[in-house]
Chains A and B, each alone.
Chain A
Amino acid sequence: AQSVTQLGSHVSVSEGALVLLRCNYSSSVPPYLFWYVQYPNQGLQLLLKYTTGATLVKGINGFEAEFKKSETSFHLTKPSAHMSDAAEYFCAVKNGYSGGGADGLTFGKGTHLIIQP
Chain B
Amino acid sequence: DADVTQTPRNRITKTGKRIMLECSQTKGHDRMYWYRQDPGLGLRLIYYSFDVKDINKGEISDGYSVSRQAQAKFSLSLESAIPNQTALYFCATQLGQGATGELFFGEGSRLTVL
Which residue in chain A gives the minimum CB-CB distance to B107?
Answer: A43
Tally inter-chain residue pairs, CB-CB below 8 A: 63
B103: CB under 8 A from chain A? yes
* Interface assignment of A109: CB less than 8 Å from any CB of chain B: yes
Asked if A17 lies at the interface with its beta carbon under 8 angstroms from chain B, I say no
* From B42, B59, B92, B100, contact of A102 by CB (8 A): B59
A103/B50 in contact, CB under 8 A:
yes
A9 touching B40 in the complex, CB below 8 Å, given contacts A32-B101, A102-B58, A104-B33: yes
Whether B101 contacts A90 by the Cβ 8 Å rule is: no
Residues of A within 8 Å of B102, CB to CB, are 34, 46, 49
Task: Provide the residues of chain A in CB contact with B42, threshold 8 Å.
Answer: 90, 107-110
Q: Does B43 contact A (CB under 8 A)?
A: yes
CB-nearest residue of chain B relative to A93?
B101
Interface residues on A, range: 20 to 34
A9 to B90 Cα, complex, angstroms: 21
Set of chain B residues within 8 Å of A104, measured between Cβ atoms: 33, 35, 45, 48, 58, 92, 94, 101, 103
User: For the complex, is A42 an interface residue (Cβ under 8 Å from B)?
Assistant: yes
**A34-B101, A42-B108, A103-B56 known, 7 other contacts, Cβ within 8 Å:** A42-B107, A43-B105, A90-B43, A103-B50, A106-B45, A108-B42, A109-B40
B contacts, CB < 8 Å to A = 4, 31, 33, 35, 40-45, 48, 50, 56, 58-59, 90, 92, 94, 100-103, 105-108
